[in-house]
Structure 1
Amino acid sequence: MSSAGQPSIGMVAGEPSGDLLAATVVQALRECAPAYALAGIGGPKMQAHGFDAWYPMQKLAVNGYADVLMHLPELLGIRRAVRERWLAERPAAFVGVDAPDFNFGLERALREGGIPTVHFIGPSLWAWRGERINTIRAAVSHMLVVFPFEEKIYQDAGVPVTYVGHPLARVIARVPDRAGARARLGIAQQDRVLALMPGSRAGEVRHLAPRFLAAARLLQARDPALRFWAPMANAERQREFEAHAQALGGLDNLHVVVGGSHDILAACDAVLVASGTATLEAALFKRPMVVSYVLPRLSWWIMRRQAYLPWVGLPNVLCRETVVPELLQDAATPEALAAAAWQALTDDAARQRLETRFGALHDDLVRDTPALASQAILEVAGHG
């Protein structure tokens, strides 16, 4: 119950991708169970559907072990505060949206306190740190997964699970409206456009923006008419990215905007993109891409020792082969990124093959995710 006696469901989403994925579920819960208050930690897309955000979502958006250690006292303080509030207010259920390092500890405490828990989007047990299944079994009453092959992992481990499809497969059109997106952005139909997407977290922008921008300068020397669009998660990331561009001496035909990533993905010819949900978005928009990621040395060493798969980009993971190039850590030089991006921009035959492959992937991921997820959440909450 909320403090006013209204039945409630608690939720925590810790970064823009989680906000995007959770927003459709928040909307569905509002429509099918309007009596429930929805509150916790979330972003602007969740808030647009009536979600009450107690803390700014950006507080949880850290990446890599080094960044987590730097912000650990604040993160632990926030988690302690919301845990105590929910144990006092007794929501009908709690839903952790991604952010496993933050949410699993919170979910375990709430579940031990008698509050059922749902985790939306299982962590990548198939990629690294598979031992987390033991943590999940103790913390999660019901797991919602977004990729079909994940269901068996949780069934075999004895964790109740529902495959709900991926929300983005419903949000993004099967055939993107490239001409319409270009018209909205003021991009001429004949212009060649590369999207630069270095991530939504400060650490990602810090490590990737200088490399992406240096690669863009090399590409512009090759094609002076090439245009660059960089959608940023918020104004702070925009300022950071623009500061990196200025430090490199500027870049012609660069447009840095807050939001608008879907129009930019629909409009562009190819993408330089940080590993993460944005790679799946680019695939659903049927765009050629170059996937990259750079971490502090310690974080990279730890993650590589725990990895199981040869890929990090979701298109490659889901297709079970290297369909798009990945340039990670020391391999992510401006020269290598520029060469791979030029190939993505100019190889028409490869683009057509990717469009076909990504179209089939899109079909595999389409389900009525908001309805399936909200139904499972309400069942866990005991909603009759």
Structure 2
Amino acid sequence: MSNASSPLAARSADSGHTEAKKRDLRVGMVAGEPSGDLLAARIIQGLRQGSPGMQVEGIGGPEMAAQQFHQHYPMDALTVFGYVEALKRIPGLVSTYLGMRNHYLRQRPDVFVGIDAPDFNLRLEHRLRQAGVPTVHFVGPSIWAWRYERIHKIREAVSHMLVLFPFETEIYEKEGIPVTYVGHPLAANIPLQPDKADARRRLGLPESGRILGVLPGSRSSEVKMLSPRFLQAVQILQDQDPDLTILVPMVNPKRRQEFEEALAQHPVRNLHLVDANTAGIREPDSEGVVRPPAWTVMEASDAVLVASGTASLETALYKRPMVISYVLSPMMERIIRWKSGQDKPYVPWVGLPNVLARDFVVPELLQEDAQPQKLAQACWKALSDQDYVAHIEQVFTAMHLTLRRDTPALAADVILKMARG
């Protein structure tokens, strides 16, 4: 029997909860990505409204630090891109895990909150829950697509799940795991009614004329695999519309260099690279959000050719028709199949907009289907078929309204209840 279910642990936990009501609460928190850092910072604000003297400590980034978060390790300690880099960084990740685990066991928080980073956080949550610490996990792993068997680890590790998508609640309720749907923070950050004309003005572009946003991903492997295909598709499209303008957001100088290498091999006309300076975005807006260049590209575009991932959801929130594409190298395909034990996802959709709609609302051209001619054909429909565009806008507006919740306040309410017992 684990410590979490023993009478001694239960009495200790009850005593701890009673004490928590008399003193300032202590919250452990770990976020491993910039998006999680921003979300955690807002949750901390909500937590302190309910408990002004609360202490929050763990692993986080600059947004959390600005909220008087005590950082034991920088967020970069957990940021890993790809399996190869993860293998190289195993010693550092193990050291970080042991450091946080031992600290929290010595000075137990009233509640621990893991934000995304499931490989790290679920392991830490399991150990802390065994020791009688309530655990909350925010952003459920995509068990609905890959590796459903992780539900057993989640059941053992997590006292309460906070999920981004409404369909996830049914999964956890069926498995007997307490769960709350809190909405997706992007839905609150992205305007319900995007302003295409204003976005084009900010980029110094005319209001008229077709514009295609091209987003070949934010990782090196994505840019190298997708950029040549996307650019060849653009060449075909510009044969149909010689005035077609192309916007490509740049996440950092390294990705820009890699994209420009592909562009030298597959040149196109009227192409603009958009970074934070050209997008006119240097400071947080009134909501404290620094809008990435990709958002300006989405808002200014008539349609978007996008790598599968969070960018496809962002594009949907901007109500833009899109073509989703992705290509894995043969080695990465083998690794994913080996790690998951699956040949394909449990659901027939890959793009988040289609997963949420439970339908192929927008085309997905993956692997061998990610051919320039097919990509161009699908993009041309998104650029030219006005009835189709109007339908997409209706579907994505309804989706936006469903996802739009006061995420930080809903999350903070659950966390405070867990901390107070």
Where 2:209 maps in the other structure, the secondary structure is coil
Identify which of 341, 355, 360 aligns with 2:398: 360
Amino acid at match of 1:173: P
Residues 124 and 237 of structure 1, relative CA distance in 2, 3 Å threshold: same
Q: Distance in 2 between matches of 1:240 and 1:80?
A: 37
Q: Do structure 1's residue 166 and structure 2's residue 184 form an aligned pair? A: yes
Gaps of at least 5 residues in structure 2 are 1-22, 277-291
Spell out, residue by residue over 1:24-75, the C-alpha distance to the aligned partner (whole angstroms, 9 max, x if none). 4344335444423444444455455555553244852424x45544544443
Residues 160 and 271 of structure 1, relative CA distance in 2, 3 Å threshold: same
Residues 243 and 111 of structure 1, relative CA distance in 2, 3 Å threshold: farther
Aligned partner of 1:328 in structure 2 is 366
Query: Which one has the largest radius of gyration?
Result: 2
- For residues 144-223 of structure 1, the aligned pairs below 5 Å read 144-223=162-241
Q: How much identity, in percent, do the aligned residues show? A: 51
Per the normalisation by structure 2, the TM-score is 0.80
Amino acid at match of 2:247: W
Residues 32 and 279 of structure 1, relative CA distance in 2, 3 Å threshold: farther
Q: Do structure 1's residue 316 and structure 2's residue 354 form an aligned pair? A: yes
Aligned partner of 2:17 in structure 1 is none
Q: Distance in 2 between matches of 1:78 and 1:291?
A: 36
Identify which of 315, 321, 330 aligns with 1:288: 321
Residues 328 and 102 of structure 1, relative CA distance in 2, 3 Å threshold: farther
Q: Distance in 1 between matches of 2:374 and 2:247?
A: 20
Identify which of 113, 116, 120 aligns with 1:98: 116
- The 8 Å contact of residues 113 and 136 in structure 2, kept in 1 or not, is answered as yes
Aligned partner of 1:273 in structure 2 is 306
Q: Distance in 1 between matches of 2:267 and 2:394?
A: 39
- The 8 Å contact of residues 231 and 267 in structure 2, kept in 1 or not, is answered as no
Q: Distance in 1 between matches of 2:130 and 2:169?
A: 25
Spell out, residue by residue over 1:195-244, the C-alpha distance to the aligned partner (whole angstroms, 9 max, x if none). 22233334333433343334334434443432222334444444443444
Per the normalisation by structure 1, the TM-score is 0.86
Q: Distance in 1 between matches of 2:96 and 2:259?
A: 28
Aligned partner of 2:387 in structure 1 is 349
- The 8 Å contact of residues 98 and 123 in structure 1, kept in 2 or not, is answered as yes
- The 8 Å contact of residues 62 and 202 in structure 1, kept in 2 or not, is answered as no
What is the number of equivalent residue pairs in this alignment?
A: 379
Residues 206 and 189 of structure 1, relative CA distance in 2, 3 Å threshold: same
Amino acid at match of 2:31: A
Q: Do structure 1's residue 142 and structure 2's residue 160 form an aligned pair? A: yes
- The 8 Å contact of residues 107 and 139 in structure 1, kept in 2 or not, is answered as yes
Identify which of 272, 287, 295 aligns with 1:262: 295
Aligned partner of 2:81 in structure 1 is 62
Aligned partner of 1:297 in structure 2 is 330
Where 1:60 maps in the other structure, the secondary structure is coil
Where 1:95 maps in the other structure, the secondary structure is strand
Q: Distance in 1 between matches of 2:77 and 2:302?
A: 30
Gaps of at least 5 residues in structure 1 are none
